[in-house]
Chains A and B, each alone.
Chain A
Amino acid sequence: MAGKIQSLTEEERTHLLPLLRNAQWVEVVGRDAIYKEFVFKDFNQAFGFMSRVALQAEKMDHHPEWFNVYNKVQITLSTHDCGGLSQRDITMATFIDQASMM
């Protein structure tokens, strides 16, 4: 891979994580990752949302860990290459929030 992905610096964390926390992203215990649960009206909406996220994930080459039951989607974001959070996770989180608004 060209250019090793850097984990978020402390400065970035103090800057960015509060914003995500406000958006109901939670830090996972025991692991450097963020988590959020989405609930939709029905399965179609949930799956449509997942499709949007999936296409974006392919574009970014950064895939979330997620679980889906009918209208609920649980998403955990972390970067495997650096073993923790990175800028990609932040970008993905904001995109996910946007996609879930529709």
Chain B
Amino acid sequence: MEGEETARAAMPRPSRLTSLQEQMIWALLESGLSRDVLVQALGELEQDRTSASAEKGERGDGESSEEGEMDFPPPIFRDLEKLSPEEAAKLRVEVDQLLQEDPWHVAKIVKSYMQQHNLPQREVVESTGLNQSHLSQHLNKGTPMKNQKRASLYSWYVKKQGEISQQFTNAKHGIASLDEQEEVKKGRRNRFKWGPASLQILFHAYERQKNPSKEEREGLVEECNRAECIQRGVSPSQLAGLGSNLVTEVRVYNWFANRRKEEAFRHKLALDTPFTNQSASSSNLNLSSPDHGSTLTRFRQAGVKYSQQILCDTMSSARGSGGERVGRLVVSPVQLEPSHTLLETHNHKPVSSSGPLPPVSTLTSLHSLSSSSASSQSLIMASLPSVMSLGESSLLIGLASTQPQAVPIINNVGGGFTTLQPISFQQQLQASSQLPISHLQSHMCASPFMATMTQLPCHMYSKSDSPQYHTSSLLSQTMVITDGSSLGNLTSLSTVRPILTEDPEEQTDPNLQEESLHLQPHTPVPAASSQSLELYPASQTTDSHQSHLLSPSPTDISSYIPTQMVSTAQ
């Protein structure tokens, strides 16, 4: 900052300040800086600037000693300056206390706090200047960290606690000053992340209905936010404290859309890969027919191969032949099928390939499976698509009571707590080749899925479109043209379009204003987007922005509208 520079230059000769320098210093002091903080900041900045080259040499020596030199005062110290002096002092006291304690113990505390509030490590890294890998290792495994670095970590932690409690208390007033600071730094809020509590709720709902209506989504939003608040130990009414992890209707909509897309894609993959395991199943088929006619008919919809697969599974696992029971059994053997093939053919090869936890989407994990193992695996995929999602939900739902039956390749959208279980179950599978008993056990949670199973094939075909995100239209619209993904924008664009087609040549400000203003009462847009309409002319009225909006509008909007409009049509 210029002010700091001139003030710093003034430091050696305190009596000879120019009046501008005086004004600057006065301004700084007025902004909340205390004399001490200012002096300290000056010292740090001076050190930093004068010893820039020397630091590189020092770094090598510094590493060996306990108290290494900080290369650069991490950004967090700059933040401290912004606080009032008493608060800064309080923070330092707390940080010192933490530094005294056992580092591993404090690391656990910090880690659990981050998990509780769904804070990304990236945020810590940015504001403390720590190395992300080092930070991760320190928090998760207790890798030692030098005191200075731990100090900056703890400073961030204490400060974050303060910020978050402020967020929660200011929720009603809608004050989000610290959030905005962060936003200014990052340019955008932290990326939203689903908490485990919300995911549970969502998976439950997904099993019930894949395509919730707006009201249902709103209900889910409430439920999820309540759960997230409870998880953080805060009253459910203080939503703004969730900050970037606040669940909104848009996010819920997107989540459902993504799950549906995943399913459709899995099914598509399954259909694509050729089936070759039919010789093995054909002998089993002979035993099946009379008892499993009902099941057969159900699954015939999904394709002959699919049902063959199921029968194969049913036969290999089921001992009893009650229709209902078979129905249930169909589910789990299908899920467990990979274990059969594993044991029969590839021993542990597919197992190892599915060992490393797949990333978010099942799709990628399926891909890796199909490429790495033989086509016998493809049958798994055939049967899995419809079951996969059920498997996921069974993973999450059946967690407490039953063993998750899902194949390890089932995606771990649920997060950490799903990952452990498949692996342990896998070991069980390897141990026992005959699994009727465990099947029965697991059916308890499998049974509700049967109803949905039948619907699935139809679902997959009818709802395979790419979902376009509806927004609740509360997106701010500074530049209508640049933000093209919201329905609010679309409708405003669509209303603008008539203007453009009517008066393609006229780009004069008043005309456009009038036209768009006229449109407001006439166009039957939903209330949400009329809000956006109001914004549009309002933003037009600013003289400086008008030329911005007008000149690109005729050309760009017309190209935007067709693409956007098409994709929203479902």
Contacts and interface: CB of A to CB of B under 8 A. Distances in A.
Contacts of A32: 538
A90 to B, nearest CB: 14
B27 interface: yes
B474 interface: yes
B244 to A, nearest CB: 8
A31 B23 contact: no
A2 B179 contact: yes
A47 B31 contact: no
B282 interface: no
B265 to A, nearest CB: 33
Interface string B26-56: 1110111000000000000000000000000
A1 B535 contact: no
Q: Is chain B's binding surface mostly helix, strand, loop or mixed? A: helix
A57 to B, nearest CB: 10
Interface residues of A, number: 29
B476 A1 contact: yes
Contact of B541 (A31, A51, A55): A31
A59 interface: yes
Interface in B39-94: 82
Interface string B365-395: 0000000000000000000000000000000
B142 interface: no
A61 B476 contact: no
A9 interface: no
B177 A48 contact: no
B189 interface: yes
Nearest to B241: A2
B478 A80 contact: yes
A83 B535 contact: yes
B484 to A, nearest CB: 19
Contacts of B312: none
Contact of B538 (A47, A56, A83): A83
Interface in B211-249: 240, 243-244, 246
Contacts of B525: none
Interface of B: 3, 18-20, 22-24, 26-28, 30-32, 82, 174, 176-177, 179-181, 183-184, 189, 240, 243-244, 246, 474, 476, 478, 534-535, 538-539, 541-543
Given A1-B189, A61-B184, 15 more contacts: A1-B176, A2-B246, A3-B176, A4-B474, A30-B541, A43-B20, A44-B19, A44-B20, A49-B23, A54-B27, A59-B31, A59-B32, A61-B177, A81-B476, A102-B26
